[in-house]
Structure 1
Amino acid sequence: MIFSSVMGLLLGIFLTFISFLCLFGFSPDLAQMISPMVFAVLKDVGGPVAAGFGGAIAGAFCSYVFQQRNEKVKEDKSDISAMHKTFVRLSVQLNDFFSAKELNIYPHLTSRFRFIDIPKIPTSPSIIDQVDPRIIDIAVSLKNGEAIEVIYLAEARYKACFETFNRRNSQMDEFRAALKSAGLEHGGIEEIYQAVGQGQLIELHIMTEQMIEILDGAIRTLSEAMELTADMMDKKFKGAGGARLKVDLKEEHQHLTKAVLPYFNVDTLKAYLEKF
């Protein structure tokens, strides 16, 4: 900003000087107002010096404008790259949970004893690095604090889900070990209850329902973060003809729909088990 102002001032002085020389050169009446010697010096010495100086100023200004334009292009490319990477990152994370829901949870979601039937879920996340911090600068430039909050919340919930998967998997290992030690590989709920007791079944029920709730929350937050990232791309490069980020997630998508409530809650499960 300061550089542009200085260049503008110098160019203004140069153009004013050249304009006066032209005016005095083509108007003899005005030329008589100053000494012929002064006019000659201004014309023969000042003119070439001013022309050279003006050319240097113009060259410097053009170089500055060209450099600023190149930096703007580089910055825009960097911003586009950051938003694309963030969008793809969120999409991969969302697909991790879609797969977990599709393969591990949905087949058993309506089961009376889904806390037993839902198998262990893989605990290896596809994304382990940190989100590109440049996305914060982009959101700040657009005065979109909500995007920062939601994207980082999605990151936190992504990690929390895998921690929850790991805890439930550990409980499932303990549950199966207890069944094995009792010599029971398969059986009905009464046989399982006799083998492991009420406490372990209640704990497994609570952990399973917490896992499903945390998973649903993470899916909703990730989908919202994707939409906000796409909106930032549209707002920042609106009318520039750049590539757009496409979010094709329907509200009625089965993976975005909150899981149905379990057949048992803690109290009704306890009451049911106490019959045996």
Structure 2
Amino acid sequence: MINPQVIAGFIVGLVFSVFGFFALLAFVSDQSSIFVSGAYNIFKDILGPVAAGFGGAIAGAFATYRLQSLVEDNKSKVTDVSNYNRGVEILSAKNRDLWVYKRQVIEKFQKHELRFLKMPDFPEMPINSLMASDYLNELLIRFGMGSEISALMTAERKYVATISNLWQRNRMIAKYRMELDEFFRMRRTRYTPSLGDLVRVHGHTRLLRLYEYTEMAIDDLDRSLAAFYKILISLQRNMAKHIAYQNLNILEVKPWVPEPTTSPHFKSINELSVALDNAMKEKKRRK
């Protein structure tokens, strides 16, 4: 199928050729014309003005089309900048949410021997339901960054899953605290419980379950922060230069470089299990 632009170009070219021909006749005398006198007069006096008017109309239409194209192109570029800024703004906001959990809770307790039990509740802020992919996917495809769509959508899914896991950990730890409070109430004193005390209060298996879930949630958070850092840096390095237009501001963010959380005191669930067993044996031996 022939491209419509080729057809339009052919028609415009033909019209301008005819118009040029009639315009040329205006400067040719009757004696020099290759046409008979009657035909020459028709071309010069009738068709010439008609062609001139038609040519002017075509030129006006072309100028209008060109102006409209420029307006549409300007509007499209402004929209690109707006969509880019909005998408980056959403990603940056989600990244900040994750850093709140990292800074306020995990980093303060990451070196504690029993961090899986000692870490306080994670703040339950509203989950950001806006999707940066709604604003960025089309731009990623157009500028040859389609491979980043998967990374973008993965980061946003991780955001929701990570926060949900942290909140679920809040529900779990609440029961452990109630049990420990009851233990101290019965003892009528408070002190730092030993591993043996913790096994007695919570049970060996449940402590392992809390350890596993807490460490999994911490690892998920670290992975989410790494995913957001990667996509934000990629957008600023590879896309911002394509959408820069006139004096429109391109949103620039400087995400913190994520670092893995310090490894737990007990490096694995098996290591914790052995420590709990030994603590119980020691407690029984002292009796």
Letter in 2 for 1:79: D
Q: In structure 1, what is the equivalent of residue 99 of structure 2?
A: 98
Q: In structure 2, what is the equivalent of residue 263 of structure 1?
A: 265
Q: What's the CA shift for 1:183? A: 4.0
Q: Which moved more, 1:163-172 or 1:216-225?
A: 163-172
Distance (Å, rounded) in 2 between the aligned partners of 1:175 and 1:261: 23
Q: Which moved more, 1:133-142 or 1:12-21?
A: 12-21
The change in CA–CA distance for 1:221 and 1:30 in structure 2 (over 3 A counts) is: farther
Q: Report matched runs for 1:180-219 at 5 Å.
A: 180-183=181-184, 187-189=192-194, 190-219=196-225
Moved over 6 A (4+): none
Letter in 2 for 1:54: G
Letter in 2 for 1:152: M
Q: Which moved more, 1:107-116 or 1:173-182?
A: 173-182
Distance (Å, rounded) in 1 between the aligned partners of 2:153 and 2:261: 24
Q: Which moved more, 1:119-128 or 1:53-62?
A: 119-128
Q: In structure 1, what is the equivalent of residue 285 of structure 2?
A: none
Q: In structure 2, what is the equivalent of residue 121 of structure 1?
A: 122
Distance (Å, rounded) in 2 between the aligned partners of 1:45 and 1:101: 84
Q: Is the 8 A contact 1:230 1:244 kept in 2?
A: no
Q: What's the CA shift for 1:73? A: 1.5
The change in CA–CA distance for 1:20 and 1:128 in structure 2 (over 3 A counts) is: closer
| Per-residue deviation, residues 36-90 of structure 1 (Å, max 9, x unmatched) | 1111111111111111111111111111111122111121121111111111111
The change in CA–CA distance for 1:79 and 1:25 in structure 2 (over 3 A counts) is: closer
The change in CA–CA distance for 1:248 and 1:115 in structure 2 (over 3 A counts) is: same
Q: Is the 8 A contact 1:24 1:30 kept in 2?
A: no
Letter in 2 for 1:262: P
Q: Report matched runs for 1:152-231 at 5 Å.
A: 152-183=153-184, 187-189=192-194, 190-231=196-237
Q: In structure 1, what is the equivalent of residue 64 of structure 2?
A: 63
Gaps of 5+ in 2: 281-287
Letter in 1 for 2:206: Q
TM-score by length of 1: 0.89
Q: Is the 8 A contact 2:111 2:262 kept in 1?
A: yes
Distance (Å, rounded) in 2 between the aligned partners of 1:102 and 1:69: 49
Gaps of 5+ in 1: none
Q: Is the 8 A contact 1:125 1:162 kept in 2?
A: no
Q: In structure 2, what is the equivalent of residue 272 of structure 1?
A: 275
Q: For this pair of structures, how many residues does the alignment match?
A: 272
Q: What's the CA shift for 1:232? A: 4.3
Distance (Å, rounded) in 2 between the aligned partners of 1:222 and 1:31: 79
Distance (Å, rounded) in 2 between the aligned partners of 1:7 and 1:58: 13
Task: Quote the sequence identity (%).
Answer: 24
Distance (Å, rounded) in 2 between the aligned partners of 1:194 and 1:104: 27
Q: What's the CA shift for 1:30? A: 7.3
Q: What's the CA shift for 1:13? A: 2.5
